Amino acid sequence: MTGRAVGAAGSGGGQAGSGSAPSGRSGRRKARTGRKLFAFDRRLGSRLIAGADEAGRGSLAGPLMAAAVLFDYELLGPQQVRLLGALNDSKQHNHETREALYPLVLRTAVRVYVVSRCVRTVDGRGLHRTNLAALREALTGVTAHVQGEVLCLVDGFSVGELGRPQQAVVDGDARSAAIAAASIVAKVARDRYMHRAEEHHPGWGFAEHVGYSTPEHREAIIAKGVSPLHRMSFQSLAYQQLAL
């Protein structure tokens, strides 16, 4: 699959959809994380900041997805920051909270861009090279034709030449609003793909574990073999017990 722009404020894409801020007790506990993440980005001193992150890097099955989110900090006021008050690394949220945050990111961002890399690419090129290329394409896509300087942030490491200023942020999905927003988009997009994959490849439980290694997933591989979505370049005890 190739990269695609996702509807966002000012992007010219489709409607981002409605959504309300996550509510309830856990939402109140996490309401301050978003403000801290936006404050981190503002301190970097750039008006336009793009963040990128991926989902599915460590899974046994399914695509690797990378997303990039572009924020214009001159357009972000207190209302927008409050809207994303619960923003944090996607791994810190459950499925329901990520789904609630997803349309809020689309409404707040200037642009959102998603890239998908299929299992054949991961197996053929290797996970690390595929991951770097996907993150690079996502950042290139989200900043294409944008006038002015854009600071590109990546979680943990540089992704190679972008033609834009770039900064690696250690634990970036828990420190930067742009990276955290990208992590939400990538995770939700990939989870939705894996839920749909369950309809075409029933029996492996993709809707439950979304391709990651769980006891139930490994048992299904041993019982049924592998599906077209499984990454054969990965080492798994379940694979070793099959005559592949």
Q: Tell me the pLDDT tens digit for each residue of 114-153.
A: 999 999 999 999 999 999 999 999 999 999 999 999 999 9
Domain segments of the chain: what residues? Answer: 4-192
Q: For the domain 4-192, what is the CATH code?
A: 3.30.420.10
Q: Tell me the pLDDT tens digit for each residue of 22-46.
A: 444 444 445 578 899 999 999 999 9
- Cβ atoms within 10 A of the Cβ of 150, count? 22
Q: What is the DSSP letter of 236?
A: -
Torsion of CA 101, 107, 111, 112, to 10 degrees: 30
